Amino acid sequence: MTTVCVSMSAIRSFQPSSFRGVSYDGMVGDQYVTVRKTPTGGLVPSVGSVFSTPYGIATVVSHWGDGQCVMEIVEYDDDFIHTFVQDKKVITQTAPEYVLQLALAANRTRDCKVETLMRTLTTPSGAPTKECISRIEGIPELNEDQFIQSFGSDFKFDDDIEVLCDVVNIQRETPKRRRSPLELEIAMRLRQDLLDECPEDIASEIDDEFGDDDFDDTDDIVETESFNFDD
């Protein structure tokens, strides 16, 4: 599937429609596209997009799963405090400490997925299949400054943020090529020369085989071609 990145300002000008029975959200150049969405109806920002989060300023570094984004903190919020109770003790975490816990939780989820893939996608000898390896490689392992975020349908993106769109493959009909007046004239001359050189019985068979249908509307075709050419 081909993916393109489109700014929110362009997305807002999209006019959903359909072509040849296939629905699409808008067009980018001469390509029909649909806006990629998460299971909750949110959009998926492109890699490099920057957002303000409760933990600080973060940028999208990759994608994971159904439209989830791997975010990396580039500037922590020093005022962020997360407080919770554990074993009857009040524990307070700073932004880096909290994000680290989010990263560890995401990596535990990753490990479970990898274990499942290694158990189910194997060859008869027990070795991981190519699909298994490919899918494992597609699951990122987070570092201590990263966390997973999915943008909901209510999230408001700035106009300059780019989001992911998928190109819709719609087969275009190739217009039937109409012969030019010169090609028609040459074809008629060759046909007549062939008839003139053949014995009468063979010429009659050629007439029966090919007929005159291809040239009956020659004048109409020439007029149409000439009109198009002059335009």
Joined tokens for residue 119 = 């158990």
Give the Cα-Cα-Cα angle 41, 45, 48 (nearest 5 degrees). Answer: 165
This prediction has a pTM of: 0.68
pLDDT band per the 50, 70, 90 thresholds, residue 201: low
Q: What pLDDT is stored for residue 223 in this prediction?
A: 40
Q: Cβ–Cβ contacts within 10 Å for residue 26, how many? A: 19
Half-sphere exposure of 3 (CA within 13 A, CB side): 12
Quick: pLDDT tens for 182-193. 777 777 777 777
Cross-strand pairs, 18: 23
Domain ranges of the chain: 74-147, 181-230
